[in-house]
Structure 1
Amino acid sequence: MSVLLSDTFYEDVPTLDEVKHEISSIVGLREIKRHLEAIVEKIIVAEKDASDGLKVLPPKPFHMVFVGNNGTGKSTVARILGKLFYLSRALSSYAVTEMQGNKKMKDAKGGVLLVNIDEEDPINSKLVDEIIAAMDEGDISIIFAGTYKALNQYMKFNNELYKRFSARLQFDDLTPEELAMILQKKASDQGEDGLICGFALDSSCSTIDIADKIAALAPESLRRLLNAHLLDQMLIEARKVAERSGEKTIFLRDLAVGIHSGGQIYKNLLNL
């Protein structure tokens, strides 16, 4: 089961300082953050060598496997890697293109191709051959993302595919406290596209209290299945509660209703 749609992400031309800030802002994923920070340090060293007049050869793009459930940050990290590969001159583009692993091959435009693998999808042998050919051409970086079961099933289909991956990153499920921290970050976005634009969380909505509500009201099985993907609907439902009471402040009691209602919506949607 995948909740991600095929798309291409274009963002402003990245700077190293902006990417470093993005990495530091990631909630959880401690080991993965260290991996990203190591790439940043390599870019810094290369830039210094170049400024000192030394010849610096850009690294070759490499291919990776992201193992984890939905909502654990795989797309976010893929976009950061796309920027790092671009800044290191390994890739000519920082765009990240997403696609499902049983659909038509997409043009990654010299950037990163993020292939989402779902264990329920039939394997498209023609697509696998096209992906292998794209890997060998060497002008894009391909990342396979999915659960361990889905990826293992896909890799067993073609041993030549598995051999071409250079790194494997594990994305652990988010804890209730990590989910609470992400929810607070989402709630603080008061831009026009913010989920609760015009509303604010009350001071009673501390990280610890939100985490307790998530742990109590959102079933662990649902959290493991969707992780951060649950949070948008929870905030939307909490905002509705505040609107009905004529408030512009979302209190902890409102958020508790939103957490429960948002979880129920997904349970019904997924027939759980």
Structure 2
Amino acid sequence: MSVIICETFYEDEPTLDEVKLEISSIVGVPEIKRQLESIVEKIIDAEKDAADGIRVIPPKPFHMVFVGRNGTGKSTVARIIGKLFYLAGALASYTVTEMQGNQKMKDAEGGVLLVNIDEEDLINSDTQEELIALMDAGDSSVVLAGNYSALNQYMKCNLNLYKRFSARLQFDDLTCEDLAMILERKASIKEDNDLLCGFELDSSCSTDSIARTIAELTPRNLRSLLNAHLLDQMLIEAKKVAMPGERIISLGDLAMGIQNGADVYKKLLNL
């Protein structure tokens, strides 16, 4: 099953301070955060050397495998890595282009090409040859992303591609507390197109109370399948059940939204 929409992410010119803030705001995956922070430190050291007149040779881009289920932050981390590689001088672009495995090969534009692998949507032989050529050219970084089963099924039959990857990052399922923290952040965004424009969560919606509610009202297998992808629908449903004219969402409203959102996905996925 895949919920990926293929697109290219174009963002403003990154600064190291902004990327450090993005890394600190990642929820879950503590080991991956430590690895990203290590890259930041290497960039800082290189900048100090350059300021001292020491010749700094930019690193070469390398290719990675991201192992994890939907909604565990693989796309978010890919975008951060694209910025870090760009700031380190390893890539000419910080764009991240995301594609599904069997689609026509997309132009990585000198940045990161994030290729999502699904058991029912594996890379065909033509796309594989194009990927190998892109990796060997050395101008872009390729990331293969998917759950363990899909990647294992694909890689064991394609060792010529697999041997070109230098790093493997593991994205574990998010805990209920992780999901609660992400839900709070989503609810705090107040832009014109945000999910809760004009609405606020009241004081009863603490991280702990939201986490307990998610644990009670959502089955574990649904959380494992979708992780953070569950949350947008839950916020939409919570907004629907709020009293007419009321701009505050209570824990009761949120609980009903969580329940209704879970029911939408259970029906959609035949769970």
What is the TM-score when the length of structure 2 is the normalising length? 0.99
Instruction: Say whether residues 1:96 and 2:96 are aligned partners.
Output: yes
Partner of 1:225: 225
CA distance in 2, matches of 1:52, 1:241: 61
Give, as a single letter, the amino acid of the residue that structure 2 aligns with 1:246.
G
Name the SS of the counterpart of 2:156 in structure 1. Answer: helix
Give, as a single letter, the amino acid of the residue that structure 1 aligns with 2:219.
P
Give, as a single letter, the amino acid of the residue that structure 2 aligns with 1:210.
I
Partner of 1:169: 169
CA distance in 2, matches of 1:76, 1:147: 16
Partner of 1:34: 34
CA distance in 2, matches of 1:75, 1:21: 17
Partner of 1:257: 256
CA distance in 1, matches of 2:124, 2:270: 27
Partner of 1:270: 269
Give unpaired runs (5+ residues) of structure 2. Answer: none
Instruction: Say whether residues 1:45 and 2:54 are aligned partners.
Output: no
Q: Is the 8 A contact 2:43 2:88 kept in 1?
A: yes
> How much has 1:271 moved relative to structure 2?
2.0
> How much has 1:28 moved relative to structure 2?
1.1
Instruction: Say whether residues 1:248 and 2:232 are aligned partners.
Output: no
Q: Is the 8 A contact 2:82 2:112 kept in 1?
A: yes
CA distance in 2, matches of 1:57, 1:245: 61
CA distance in 1, matches of 2:72, 2:248: 29
CA distance in 2, matches of 1:207, 1:245: 26
CA distance in 2, matches of 1:174, 1:222: 12
Instruction: Say whether residues 1:127 and 2:127 are aligned partners.
Output: yes
Q: Please, what is the CA RMSD of the aligned residues?
A: 0.8
Give unpaired runs (5+ residues) of structure 1. Answer: none
CA distance in 2, matches of 1:204, 1:123: 47
> How much has 1:245 moved relative to structure 2?
3.7
Cα deviation, 1:91-133, whole Å, max 9, x if unaligned, reads 0000000001111100010000000000112441111111011
CA distance in 2, matches of 1:45, 1:262: 47
Instruction: Say whether residues 1:151 and 2:154 are aligned partners.
Output: no
Give, as a single letter, the amino acid of the residue that structure 2 aligns with 1:97.
T
Name the SS of the counterpart of 1:114 in structure 2. Answer: strand
Give, as a single letter, the amino acid of the residue that structure 2 aligns with 1:54.
I
Give, as a single letter, the amino acid of the residue that structure 2 aligns with 1:148.
Y
Moved over 4 A (4+): none
Name the SS of the counterpart of 2:80 in structure 1. Answer: helix
Name the SS of the counterpart of 1:157 in structure 2. Answer: coil
CA distance in 1, matches of 2:122, 2:34: 35
CA distance in 1, matches of 2:97, 2:122: 21
How many residues get paired?
A: 271
Name the SS of the counterpart of 2:245 in structure 1. Answer: coil
Name the SS of the counterpart of 2:143 in structure 1. Answer: strand
What is the TM-score when the length of structure 1 is the normalising length? 0.98
Of 190-199 and 56-65, more deviation after overlay is shown by: 190-199
Give, as a single letter, the amino acid of the residue that structure 2 aligns with 1:69.
R
CA distance in 1, matches of 2:236, 2:218: 15
Give, as a single letter, the amino acid of the residue that structure 1 aligns with 2:19.
V
